Amino acid sequence: MSILVYIEQFEGKAAPVSWEVLGKARGLVDQMGGKLAAVVIGNGVEAVAKDAVSYGADVVHLVEDASLAAFRLDPYAAVVEDLVKTHSPKVLLFPATARGRDLSAVVACDLNAGLAADCSDLSLVDGGLAAVRPVFSGNLLTTVRFNGPLAVASVRARSFPTPEANPARAGEIVKSGPVAPATGVREEIKSFEATSTGEVSLTDAKIIVSGGRGVAKDPELGFKMIKELADTLGGAMGASRAAVDAGYIPYKHQVGQTGKVVRPDLYIAAGISGAIQHLAGMGNAKIIVAINKDAEAPIFSVANYGVVGDLYDVVPALSAEFKKRLG
């Protein structure tokens, strides 16, 4: 095995970032040779293991038990560490979700391996992993290399595209049971309570409408109009850092190098100039539409469609037209 990927699932549903990481790992294994393995831990999660094969794994280690039904750090880490000790992968990858971050840190520590957390790109240099990750609160990007025999990395959502699933793909599913952690199990899950903000998640949204400093004339009205367009299209609302720094909108909406990385089908940027740090977060959107009153704004050089105009006229006009057409 040359790369092992941890597939995160909750109640039998894989976190989409798992497939993004697996897809990238497939490309790396094709270059370095060997086998791409995945590990799925839970109870009644064989469907996820089958999906892992269809998304590119050669071998999937399916580790099931009632005691593994819910994620807990100690027993999950014990399973991953046991697989690493048995199969000696060169690279171990995790999605950089809340759980994936925890798990990767504990596993890397226990195995005395280097960890690159929250990576936005992965490549091979001289046959070893090179991982790009932010430092100094995201103000700089560094490329990390590893000295030891095992490289561990967690990968930010939307850093890579979701690969095409091929249900006809052949792969091996190896079943096993839990591994007793040396520490014992120190957590007990009582219950889960879902929280819902009623908003579409920015990182998962297929459509995003973002506003920038261009709303400065009346930020409250500007973002109200931007939200209305996002809601009309069933999308999420984003923002540039300038808009966040100015206090027009909370940080959770920020897209870019120091905000969220998104990969929607449609990204509408209103009153955003197109600074490189903003493009770092949305440059991989399938279709980019820019609305800006400055025809020379750099955002137009990456936009598929551009409207030169005042967002206070264009955004409500788009909402009205979409409402008419979408009923």
Ligand X SMILES: Cc1cc2nc3c(=O)[nH]c(=O)nc-3n(C[C@H](O)[C@H](O)[C@H](O)COP(=O)(O)OP(=O)(O)OC[C@H]3O[C@@H](n4cnc5c(N)ncnc54)[C@H](O)[C@@H]3O)c2cc1C
Write out the residues near ligand X by the rule CB under 6 A. 139, 212-214, 240-243, 254-259, 271-273, 275, 277-278, 281, 291-294, 297, 310-312
Residue 18: C-alpha distances to residues 1, 158, 218, 230, 327 (Å): 18, 10, 41, 27, 36
Return the number of the residue (79 or 307) whose C-beta is nearest ligand X.
307
Distance of CA 267 to the CA centre of its chain: 17
Residues 6+ apart with CB under 8 A from 143: 130, 131, 132
Residues 6+ apart with CB under 8 A from 27: none
**SS3 category, 325:** helix
Q: How many residues does the chain have?
A: 327
Query: Could you tell me the smallest distance in angstroms from the CB atom of residue 320 to ligand X?
Result: 17
Concatenating the DSSP letter of every residue in 150-195 gives -EEEEE-TTSSPPPPP-TT---EEEEE-----TT------------
Query: Could you tell me the smallest distance in angstroms from the CB atom of residue 254 to ligand X?
Result: 6
Query: Could you tell me the smallest distance in angstroms from the CB atom of residue 136 to ligand X?
Result: 8
Query: Could you tell me the smallest distance in angstroms from the CB atom of residue 220 to ligand X?
Result: 14
Return the number of the residue (83 or 226) whose C-beta is nearest ligand X.
226
Return the number of the residue (100 or 259) whose C-beta is nearest ligand X.
259
Query: Could you tell me the smallest distance in angstroms from the CB atom of residue 308 to ligand X?
Result: 9
Query: Could you tell me the smallest distance in angstroms from the CB atom of residue 272 to ligand X?
Result: 4
Terminal-to-terminal C-alpha distance of the chain: 53
Return the number of the residue (21 or 226) whose C-beta is nearest ligand X.
226
**Nearest Cα to Cα of residue 149 among 118, 181, 120, 127:** 127
Return the number of the residue (26 or 293) whose C-beta is nearest ligand X.
293
Return the number of the residue (176 or 277) whose C-beta is nearest ligand X.
277
Question: Dihedral sign, CA of 83, 120, 103, 43?
Answer: negative
